[in-house]
Amino acid sequence: MTESRRRMLVLLVLTVLLSCGGAEQEDRRFAYDSHPAPIVVDGEITDWASVPLRHNDVGDGTGMTLERLRVAHDNNHLFLRIEVGRPISLQQRHRLTLHLDTDDDPSTGTDTLGLGADVSWTFGQRSGTVGGTAVGHAALGLHVLPTVRAEVFEMALDRGAQSDGSALFPGDRMRVAWSTTGDRLPDAAGGVGYAFTDTARIADTPTLDRPAAADLRLLSYNVKNDFERDRAAFSGPGRRASYRRILTAVRPDVVALQEVYNQTAAELGRAAEESLGLPTDWSWAKRGPDLVLGSRFPIEDTHAIAGFRQYESGAFLLNARAVWGRPLLVVVMHPPCCNDPATEDAPSRNVQRQRVVDGVAAFLRRVTRGAGPFEVPSGTPIMIVGDMNFVGDPQQPRTLRTGAIVDTTMSGPGAPPDWDDTPLLDVNPRQTGAPLHTTWTDPGSSFVPGRLDYAFVSDSVAEVVHAFVLRTSTLSDAQRAAHNLRAEDTRVASDHLPVVVDLAAP
């Protein structure tokens, strides 16, 4: 039997089965819809408004149910948006699995849900296969947001990915299916079809260039210092060279660093001046076990903000009057990572993180209401930056943005943190050269790239005129040459990507 006859027989059998009681919508599984769209994986869903629902599966299944699926693409990525029946932490304790028949051939791949799955990825197990062989997320170019618990997730896969020298997406048609322990989408076998079409509709990505309107550029960076065997600041010649190129290309006025555990502020400042080319007249200060701030503006005062045990946050008051006629208040944070459960000695990591963000919200309440510890003029710009490790409860970033404190017994009442009694702006910058907002990536980790690094701004008194997450591998050759960067620089420097924000007076 020829391949074309065999395919027609398979589709005929499935059609007959569906005609015996399947919903009218199920018949569309055999259509190969195509929806090119400039999607951005940013943890929000507004840009999906133009993408129609590909499959609705609400009303059946048990446990964690699969609800709705949307599919889109650009020239470089396959985009998927999946809705489930209850909030989940995507990468823990469930068996939500994506199945892709990337060559649209049921005779290849693994026979799963009535399709030949060439690619499978089980998110809760953080594992997958290509052609039956185990692979990591990097082999798929997989990025997913939000990183916190949610019911709706959006993701991108790299259409240019290869496995053993063969293209992961070899043709212009494919089929998609999802499964959990108690549900599947679609319910009937065979998945749903999708077609790639040529498109130039690619989402805009930011440049490294500093706008003329910008008065101040801040860079926030987890420098992964304590993970190195050599504990010297910015250890290793490869890392130093990459950091130097990154900082020279970005040219920040303020750097907020995390994971500087083993150097004083003065030691780090000397290393930055000698090895990284930062100016010798910068001010440096350290708070908490690992939070260092360097600035071309004088540092007038610092304050340690209590959180949970050693997880303090650092507040740094900068004399930015030459730019704005007022100071700048920068809070640098590094709450505990991961989703470890409670023990006899400590509450869960989620509770620990909430205590850290509650502490910062209480600090901002005191400052904006004139209760110290800093006496600052009303309208002083405020920034909160750092590696936040938000991988669990979505209340944690919500607390920083809105000031809604959870443990009011410990931290007092919540209060809006901006000067006009509104929430702060969550900047949520995009990567250079890619429609992604992920800020952490480690090809050797089982965890899919996520958004761990944040920047919040009091946008009633400061305007964000530009922002980006620098990822050198996604820049074009021309962009790298223009800024004297190398493709591997951000990968060599850290597992986190630098977050850059340009501010101006409103």
Average pLDDT (70-77) is 96
Look at residue 477 in the predicted model and tell me its pLDDT: 96
pTM of the model: 0.93
Q: State the DSSP code for 109.
A: S
pLDDT above 70 as % of the chain? 92
The pLDDT confidence band at residue 29, using thresholds 50, 70 and 90, is: low
Look at residue 63 in the predicted model and tell me its pLDDT: 84
- The strand ranges marked E within 211-278 are 216-222, 254-258
8 A C-beta contact, residue 322 and residue 300: no
The pLDDT confidence band at residue 232, using thresholds 50, 70 and 90, is: low
Cα–Cα dist 269/283, whole Å: 8
Instruction: Say if residue 479's pLDDT is above 50.
Output: yes
Instruction: Say if residue 472's pLDDT is above 90.
Output: yes
| CA angle (483 as vertex; 480, 486 as ends), nearest 5 | 40
Instruction: Say if residue 159's pLDDT is above 90.
Output: yes
What are the tens digits of pLDDT across the range 352-401? 999 999 999 999 999 999 998 999 999 999 999 999 999 999 999 999 99
Average pLDDT (409-422) is 97
Look at residue 448 in the predicted model and tell me its pLDDT: 97
Q: How would DSSP label each residue in 34-98?
A: --B----BSS--GGGTTSPPSEE-TT--SSS-EEEEEEEE-SSEEEEEEEEEEEE-TTSSS--EE
Instruction: Say if residue 264's pLDDT is above 70.
Output: yes
Mean residue pLDDT across the chain:
91
Sketch out the chain's domains with CATH numbers: 3-14+22-195 (2.60.40), 216-504 (3.60.10.10)
The pLDDT confidence band at residue 165, using thresholds 50, 70 and 90, is: confident
Cα–Cα dist 312/336, whole Å: 10
The pLDDT confidence band at residue 78, using thresholds 50, 70 and 90, is: very high
Instruction: Say if residue 23's pLDDT is above 60.
Output: no
End-to-end CA distance of the chain: 71
Look at residue 274 in the predicted model and tell me its pLDDT: 87
Residue type, 454: Y
pLDDT above 90 as % of the chain? 81
Q: Name 102's Cβ contacts closer than 8 Å, sequence gap at least 6.
A: 118, 119, 168, 169, 170, 174
